Amino acid sequence: MEHDKPNKTFDFLKGEMVLIDKPYGWTSFDVVNKLRYKIKYYHKVKKVKVGHAGTLDPLATGLLIICTGRKTKEIDNYQARDKEYTGTIELGTETPSFDKETDANKLYDISAITNAEILATAKKFVGIQEQLPPQYSAKKVKGQRAYDLARNNEKADIKPVTVNIKEFELTRIDLPYITFRVVCEKGVYIRTLAHDFGKALNNGAVLSALRRTRIGEYEVEQAHDLFKLEEKLSLEQESSG
């Protein structure tokens, strides 16, 4: 694939699709803004279209598809493809954000939960189902991001959505931690899956780690390290100047 060639010279103004391995702690918009700045500086232009095909939470890592120029018209196409994630659920605790971005607000006793009960519960989450997006999400409510409202102690009026989880495989159980692999269609919130999984066990759960490993046929192993790509662009800028 073109984007996968390490020595490829990008034509960002005309349009490129670039695979990025999003760093931990960065928002998807952080990555877009960083690349937009570097592209404008590299090409000495004031404006360039840059967007991403599917948000990853700040505490998640993994595959992010970035489109520039004319390729931004293809973003919806990439967003529509199935996605694969790996991660870890922590049982026995709840947070307002359903992950580790916020502090625990409730703790549970997990001593009575068995591996058999956990495996049986996981099977209930495969297929088409209703899911309520988290209050701490990028979902827009009346023109505002839900997470902005949540951080101001305001509750967004978020409606349930219909999603499809094609595979939910538990790869290791070492309580309170459960590692998993998920394959799903667009629109699934893995944080909500973790939260609902805890509720189904009459307990609590948070998402403690998440990595997106695939979008359609594109895998994270093909992705550029953001900082190495930034260094490559800087070196090209120096050599061309």
Cα distance between residue 176 and residue 223, in whole Å: 32
Q: At what angle do helices 226-240 and 28-43 cross, to 10 degrees?
A: 10
The DSSP secondary structure of 116-182, one letter per residue, reads HHHHHHHHTTSEEEEE---SSSS-EETTEEHHHHHHTT----PPPEEEEEEEEEEEEEETTEEEEEE
Q: Check: CB of residue 74 under 8 Å from CB of residue 66.
A: no
Exactly one of 11, 21, 30, 57 is catalytic; name it: 57
Amino acid at 127: G
Q: Which of 165, 180, 182, 212 is nearest to 91 (CA)?
A: 180
Active site includes 57?
yes
> Rounded to whole angstroms, how far apart are CA atoms 52 and 17?
9
What is the token pair recorded at 215?
A: 């979008």
The span from the CA of 101 to the CA of 40, in Å, is 32
Q: Which residues are catalytic?
A: 57
